[in-house]
Amino acid sequence: MKTLLTRSLLCLLGFALLAIAPAAEAAKPNIIFILCDDLGYGDVKCNNPDGKIATPCADKLASQGMRFTDAHTTSSVCTPTRYGVMTGRYNWRSRLQSFVLGGLSPRLIEPGRLTVAAMLKQQGYSTACIGKWHLGMDWVKKEGKDVTDLNIETPEQVWNVDYTKPIANGPNSVGFDYYYGISASLDMVPYTFIENDRVTVVPTVDKDWPLMLGREKGRCRLGPATPEFEVEHVLPAFTRKTVEIITARAADAKAGKPFFIYLPLNAPHTPIAPTAEWKGKSGLNFYADFVMQTDATLGAIMRALDEQGIADNTLVIFTSDNGCSPQADFPALLEKGHNPSYTMRGHKADIWDGGHRVPFIVRWPGKVKAGTTCDQLVSLADFMAACAEITGAKLPDNAAEDSVSILPALLGKADKPLREALVHHSINGKFSIRQGQWKLEICPGSGGWSTPRDPQALQQGLPRVQLYDMTKDIGEQRNLAAENPDVVKRLTALLEKYVADGRSTPGAPQQNAVAVDIWKPDKAAPAAKGKKVRKQ
């Protein structure tokens, strides 16, 4: 009798465990990571009360979640930042030591390297990437033809690949079940959509567009396009596709099969091309209109989550890959009282905070307290460690070497700095390291496009390094390096240690892909590298 009773209890316990298993799985949140392209910290109204661009959807997201005031990309330009997001590793540990890839560049993420998408897939997530990839993929090259490996392809190379053939080593090869997007920035060839490993329509014509509507000075790179492809259609296409995926996967999400959507937008990067509905809405210029349209994309995603009844179990992150580009026309915006960089110095490409401090807003109902602000120093590379902690994944030593989980901050339990320090990188490969109040920059100038650029800065007699107290001088105006040689020495040694160890987090030392030189020779980054200005 006792044996029978014991068996009955065990069966009941088994049924109970089976019943709660889906609930336990459902506890893993859906995750949507929205990466805007060239959106400045000060372009979001909740970050910049004096800003002149209306961003009601980002503001609403902040009111429902947490806004970070000291969040940074690992680089002040596109490709390297995306590498950090996907791998949790500083971009300068890869083969790419400066500048960005092109639309035809081969894959940058190393074979066998764990990505956040692959990790989440291992944790039972369905995974999708919609948008601008810009991390390289392996096109089939025509016989005897080649493309540039670690930079933008030359005008002579744009037809050197066979666009009818499948593409290898794209997003599907690093953990994404589904991909729909463009290979790189929207001012780079080819001008056609890619679905998984093939272009949706084979390019047959050459096209280009103004870098900003209404301004003929400066155009996108001329090259392969489909006849019907127009740049103003791209952001709406990404928005629709994302909403479709949310709708299609909502039922599975409710049943315990969560999803991860990585949405790297093309906007408000050049070509700055808002649709007719948004032209003139800002009262500033087409860039500001495009920012408003980008904000509306966020709104469409939030509505889709509400309509499908899955908003309460979805973690949404809204951020940018670097600071605002000078193509936005800073003088025109400043004249009307709007500064995309807020109170920071510099912009996209620069080592100063205007180049890499970005909007970072997180909503996770029931977990992240609504309407809160966090001043922790964090990096977009921290996304991978946070996802690992949220889902219970264990990261191996050879993955996410520079990723620190921000989950304690999200839950309001961070009573001390999460990071020991944070490394920044400019377009031409110049280094900076931030620890607490101090920010050390291993270059005499901007490290990018702002003046003084590095060669000119040296010619002007500016010091080889810069040191700023970011608590008192967020605009990086007073170089304190000469007055604080001990701080310079300490931070330089810490940066060198991070390089030598192949990681900045606890764990076994790792190898960088190439030798890393923090004292790169001073050379200027070409302004708007590769953007061709055609003679009229």
| 406-416: pLDDT as tens digits | 999 999 999 99
Q: Is the pLDDT score of 491 beyond 90?
A: yes
Task: Give residue 521's pLDDT band: very low, low, confident or very high (50, 70, 90).
Answer: confident
Helix (H, G, I), strand (E, B) or coil at 129: strand
pLDDT at 216: 83
**Mean pLDDT in residue range 197-224:** 96
Q: Please enumerate in sequence order all residues whose Cβ is within 8 A of that of 118, keeping only pairs 6 or more positions apart, or say none.
A: 174, 175
Residue 416 belongs to some domain of the structure: no
Q: Is the pLDDT score of 164 beyond 80?
A: yes
Q: Is the pLDDT score of 12 beyond 80?
A: no
Residue 527 belongs to some domain of the structure: no
Residue 502 belongs to some domain of the structure: no
| CATH code of the domain containing 251 | 3.40.720.10
Q: Which two tokens stand for residue 164?
A: 């009818």
Residue 514 belongs to some domain of the structure: no
Which amino acid is present at 80? P
**Mean pLDDT in residue range 494-503:** 98
Percent of the chain having pLDDT more than 70? 92
Kindly report the number of other CB atoms within 10 A of residue 343's CB atom: 13
The per-residue pLDDT of the chain, averaged, comes to: 94
In this structure, are residues 225 and 213 in contact, taking their beta carbons and an 8 Å threshold? no
Residue 479 belongs to some domain of the structure: no
pLDDT at 523: 57
Domain containing 225: what range?
28-410
Residue 255 belongs to some domain of the structure: yes
Q: Is the pLDDT score of 271 beyond 50?
A: yes
Kindly report the number of other CB atoms within 10 A of residue 210's CB atom: 18
Could you read off the pLDDT of 87-119 as tens digits, one per residue?
Answer: 999 999 999 999 999 999 999 999 999 999 999
Spatial separation of the C-alpha atoms in residues 25 and 23, rounded to whole Å: 5
**Mean pLDDT in residue range 31-59:** 98
Lowest mean pLDDT among 5-14, 208-217, 347-356, 419-428: 5-14
**Mean pLDDT in residue range 147-174:** 98
Q: Is the pLDDT score of 495 beyond 90?
A: yes
Residue 10 belongs to some domain of the structure: no
Task: Report in angstroms the alpha-carbon separations of 106 from 139, 148, 399, 511.
Answer: 7, 8, 21, 21
Angle at 208 between CA 205 and CA 209, to 5 degrees: 145
Residue 117 belongs to some domain of the structure: yes
Kindly report the number of other CB atoms within 10 A of residue 228's CB atom: 9
Spatial separation of the C-alpha atoms in residues 176 and 131, rounded to whole Å: 13
Q: Which two tokens stand for residue 492?
A: 């330089």
**Mean pLDDT in residue range 421-439:** 98
Task: Tell me how many domains the chain contains.
Answer: 1
Lowest mean pLDDT among 16-20, 153-157, 183-187, 323-327: 16-20
pLDDT at 520: 86
> Which pTM value belongs to this model?
0.93
Helix (H, G, I), strand (E, B) or coil at 366: coil
